Amino acid sequence: MPITTCIFDAYGTLFDVAAAARQAASEPGNEALQQKWPELANHWRLKQLQYTWLRAVADAHADFWDVTQDGLDWALEATGLDQHPALRQRLLDLYWELQAYPEVPEMLATLKAGGMQTAILSNGSPPMLDGAVQSAGISGVLDDVLSVESVGVFKPHAKVYDLVAQRFGCQRDEVLFVSSNGWDAAGASGYGFVTAWVNRANEPMDRLPWQPTHVLSDLTSIPELAGL
């Protein structure tokens, strides 16, 4: 069936999760971060994801904001920056204002102009997602922002992907699901979506039972994949 609905993961897909550490490192007073911000950003993101998986398996759900803070605290300790409370607070503040990748606004506008339904489907909590969407100025090209908080479990649980049909009334093979997380794209493939993995870092394919339908280096070709 033709694609009618384009669904996007948020963090790392539309929004640059390294932006908070990168910006903080450039600010006066944060000299301790200047050489360590790439390491901290990588640790922060990895722990944030790992904690969502562990909580999903253990049936110990928590708001994504709590998970984000836990991941940051681990990353700060791992990089020797845990004695800087002002830096911690600055990094958390910046996470509510993450920058969108440069191609995002035009890509989403093209999808909407072509008649596609568009939405975010994210582990993020509604307030976090609203902050990022407003900061990026993309609310006008999204039909909805869907959060796992409505089902109480993180991706890649099927209950999360169920939210798409519940909201848009579409069949699974009408959905183009886009994520920068290989495991998320793979999980959505297993669910029945057409998927695109945005592999910005040129990482190896995850060894999972399913694989993404498409592998991309950025989001510019999404309208073409959607049939526009």
Give the angle 165-166-170 at the CA atoms, nearest 5°.
Answer: 30
CA distances from 131 to 92, 98, 101, 137, 145 (A): 12, 9, 16, 10, 11
Give the angle 140-92-55 at the CA atoms, nearest 5°.
Answer: 90
Contact 95, 118 (CB under 8 A): no
> What does the alpha-carbon distance between residue 32 and residue 29 come to, in Å, rounded to a whole number?
8
> What does the alpha-carbon distance between residue 9 and residue 129 come to, in Å, rounded to a whole number?
11
| β-strands 117-122, 5-8 pairing | parallel
Give the angle 142-147-153 at the CA atoms, nearest 5°.
Answer: 155
The residues carrying an active-site annotation are 9
Phi, psi of 115 (to 5 degrees): 90, 10
CA distances from 125 to 10, 22, 33 (A): 11, 23, 27
